[in-house]
Amino acid sequence: MKPIIVINFKTCKQGKDVIKLAEKIEKINKNIIIGVQASDIYEVTKKTELRVYAQHIDYSKQGRATGFILAEAIKKDKAEGSFLNHSEHKLKFPILKKTVKRCKQVKLKTMVFASSLKEAKKIEKLKPDYLIIEPPELVAGQISVSKAKPDLIKRISRELKSKFLVGAGIHTKEDIKKALELGSSGVAISSAITKAKNPSKKLRELLS
């Protein structure tokens, strides 16, 4: 089975630069999932065939919710789903629970982040479509998962019933290879691509 590759754009790029990067990614692999600001979903789904996720949505219902982003809104913009609970946007658990439920109601997929195995086990019960483990010590770091935490990944693999992805610290082809060997179904990448001088080249390397 092919690994799932997620690229989190964070808020590194705006407007046309988002589209440009998405188009580069699409040329290399159409099955990659990208996470963008809610304001960019419509443009990206219109111009590429990538699988597009919002980086966050609110659980509010239609009507009186000025300033929130609704599940229905990004569904109409053809997002496949939404990230939730990213380490830069943690949600209190009752809010996360409600939001996962809302996504299911409108048939949006959910990709929920967890910072630890303990948190992942709790989130697993909500039955998100994807679960991404991002050990905080690896976020935005240069230490690779494969070198830093092989035992952690193995243990996650053993203790979780669901499939999971590994985020944080993925910078090389070896990191991906190791993450998959240790039991993950894929990886979430961010700065390795979004901050690369030549993102196409870097992505090709990573996937080679």
Known catalytic membership, residue 134:
yes
Rounded to whole angstroms, the Cα distance separating 40 from 190 reads 17
**Cβ proximity of 69 and 84 under 8 Å:** no
Rule CB under 8 A: say whether 1 interacts with a copy of itself. Answer: no
Choose, by CB under 8 A, the member of 3, 24, 26, 98 that binds a copy of itself.
Answer: 98
Region of residue 183 (phi > 0: left; psi between -120 and 50: alpha; otherwise: beta): left
For residue 51, the cross-strand partners are: 33
List 62, 142, 158, 197, residue binding a copy of itself (CB under 8 A): 62
Q: Does residue 100 sit in helix, strand or coil? A: helix
Q: Are 129 and 110 a contacting pair, CB within 8 Å?
A: yes
Residue 56 designated active-site? no
Q: Which is nearer to a copy of itself, 56 or 178 (CB)?
A: 56
Is 15 a binder of a copy of itself (CB under 8 A)?
A: yes
Give the nearer residue to a copy of itself in terms of CB position, either 93 or 173: 93
Task: Name the residues that contact a copy of itself, by CB under 8 A.
Answer: 8, 10-12, 14-16, 35, 37-43, 54-56, 59-70, 72-77, 83, 86-89, 92-95, 97-98, 115, 135-137, 140
